[in-house]
Structure formats: structure tokens, C-alpha cells
Amino acid sequence: GAVVSQHPSRVICKSGTSVKIECRSLDFQATTMFWYRQFPKQSLMLMATSNEGSKATYEQGVEKDKFLINHASLTLSTLTVTSAHPEDSSFYICSAGVKSGVFGSGTRLTVV
């Protein structure tokens, strides 16, 4: 079946640095990918919709200059957390397509 690969699974970075998270669709093309954030003991919150070849669509309250999304090909979307701060520490998950329901394995970001 369809698989979405997300990398890295864990990352620790210093405050003020930037971190890039990759989301790849394997064996299929995804014109649309989604980025979610999950706080401890909470549900998934949609951050943005990544559209291949065009600008991402951000949900209300999500800073687009802080969470940079690039979807340069039909199989790869990246989320870059710029100038990360401890409050950005969270679990980030991507998915490909809407009705396919395929998710990556998630990235645990810890900013120290």
C-alpha cells in the first residue's frame, strides 16, 4: 500500500537554529500534503496544506514565516522550523492526500 516516509524521527536543536523535516510519498505522487502538529495528550492540529508547485496554505494562527513549507516535487514536501524556540517543541506529522489517509511516522522536535 501507499507509504509516507518522514525524516528525521527525532531531532534536538539549540534555540535560534532552524530545523528541516522531510515528508516523502513512496510509490505514489502527492500533489497535496498536510502538516500537523500534536501537543502532548492532545489531538492533531492542522498547520498547513502543502501544494506542489505553489504556495502552501496556512491555517489561522500559524506563522508562515516561522514554519516554511516547500513542495517542490510530487513526492517531497519539507517543513522548516526557523529560529526555533522551546515552545516549538512538539510532535510534527505529515500526511499525503486527503482521502488516502496515509501518514508519516512523525518527528519529535525538542528545542533546548
Partner 1 sequence: AQSVAQPEDQVNVAEGNPLTVKCTYSVSGNPYLFWYVQYPNRGLQFLLKYITGDNLVKGSYGFEAEFNKSQTSFHLKKPSALVSDSALYFCAVVFGNEKLTFGTGTRLTIIP
Q: Report in angstroms how near the CB of residue 107 gets to partner 1 at its nearest.
A: 9
The alpha carbon dihedral of 44, 69, 98, 59 has a sign of positive
Q: How many residues bind partner 1 (CB under 8 A)?
A: 19
Residues 54 to 93 in contact with partner 1, rule: CB under 8 A: 91, 93
| List 14, 27, 43, 86, residue binding partner 1 (CB under 8 A) | 43
Whole-number Å distance between alpha carbons of 112 and 51: 31
- Strands (DSSP E) found in the chain: 3-7, 10-13, 19-26, 32-38, 44-51, 57-58, 67-73, 76-81, 90-96, 102-103, 107-111
Q: Report in angstroms how near the CB of residue 15 gets to partner 1 at its nearest.
A: 22
Confirm if 104 and 6 have CB atoms less than 8 A apart.
yes
Residues 13 to 42 in contact with partner 1, rule: CB under 8 A: 34, 42
Q: Report in angstroms how near the CB of residue 16 gets to partner 1 at its nearest.
A: 25
Give the residues lining the site for partner 1 (CB under 8 A): 6, 34, 42-44, 46, 49, 91, 93, 95, 98-99, 101-106, 108
